[in-house]
Amino acid sequence: MQPDENLLALARTVLCEPTAPFHEARVRAAIARRLAESCPHVETREDAFGNLIARYRRGNPPAARWAFAAHMDHPAWVRPAPGSAAAEKGLPWIFLGGVPEATLRVNAEKIAPCGEDFAVWALPDCEVRADEPDGIARLHARACDDLLGCAAILGMFEELEAEGAACDVYGLFTRAEEVGFVGAVQLAREGWLQAAGLTVISLETSAERPPAKQGDGPIVRVGDKASIFDPAATAELAAVAAEAGIPFQRCLMPGGTCEATAFQMHGARSAALCIALGNYHNCAPNAQIAAEHVAVADFAGLTRLCAQIARRSAQTTPLPDSLTALRRRLEREFAGFQPYIGRDGRSRA
């Protein structure tokens, strides 16, 4: 299958913007500009912390059920804050984000300053390699995590806009995830997500670990390194993918902790989708720094699945409820074994 050039062009508008924790202004501006140009039915607002909140609403649909979330930052170098311990020591840069110290030491000169305030790894913004040895076309970029999550939300909005979909859905673009989910925590503490009955779907590129595999489709993420997500919401995401014929994987992704954990720790119902990521946080073998990479088809599938979840939420026909079906089957089996309960076999246990 040939890559969707329109979708890749959209991804490049985000991937080409440098970013760092607390220095997401260029990414935020690119997202807001793209939405203003292509999605007249999307309203955006920036909260006091700098998170960008977008809402697509068209026609007379039921109230929104889902809020897709992705973060705008990526591990990078920043100038020490005035008065900080690093500033007192005279350090020119500090690194914000999860990269081993040994890797930082080996690659400390491989940086590209972005003005006076922050610097990124000196890597290509974005390139697609269609001739990989395993036959999988991959997108290589300095910061797939989590700018591709942001691009997937943009792609979802543009797909809904183009087809005139009558539905209601949110996109949350958050700040400073890499240093402790700061933007997500700020949003969750405000309480409006919970009051509106929204379920947050965290979108990520997550370190590829078995059984997850690049090229096998987007991943319905049942949990991360720290927690498990809402079972009913997780089952519904899988049911939407199956109904739409979108190839997907269902996996625990324990390579890191994502925003779904942060949201649910503050009372918001959460689920998650992701795609398998190579060179997580730019960490390649032998302590080298390299571009992150994902399968192009996985990114396209993630975008398509997000749009299908949004449009499906406006339909009244219920999805098959796998958890209810499982409970009914177990109840039938329980009833069928009633004659054995209380027999002498129990006394031998």
Q: How confident is the model at residue 347 (pLDDT cuts 50, 70, 90)?
A: very low
pTM for the whole structure:
0.92
Q: What percentage of the chain has pLDDT greater than the value 90?
A: 81
Residue 23 lies in a domain: yes
Residue 331 lies in a domain: no
Residue 165 lies in a domain: yes
Length of the chain: 349
Give the number of other Cβ atoms within 10 Å of residue 260's Cβ: 34
* Spatial separation of the C-alpha atoms in residues 111 and 20, rounded to whole Å: 13
Find the CATH number of the domain harbouring 226.
Answer: 3.40.630.10
Number of domains in the chain: 1
Q: Which domain holds residue 63?
A: 5-75+123-323
Name, in order, each residue with C-beta under 8 angstroms of 201's C-beta and a sequence gap of 6 or more.
66, 67, 68, 69, 233, 237, 260, 270, 271, 272, 273, 306, 309
As given in the structure block, the two tokens for residue 84 are 């900080």
pLDDT, one tens digit per residue, over 271-304 is 999 999 999 999 999 999 999 999 999 999 999 9
Give the number of other Cβ atoms within 10 Å of residue 34's Cβ: 18
pLDDT, one tens digit per residue, over 298-321 is 999 999 999 999 999 988 777 777
Residue 147 lies in a domain: yes
Question: Which pLDDT value is given to residue 328?
Answer: 84
Residue 337 lies in a domain: no
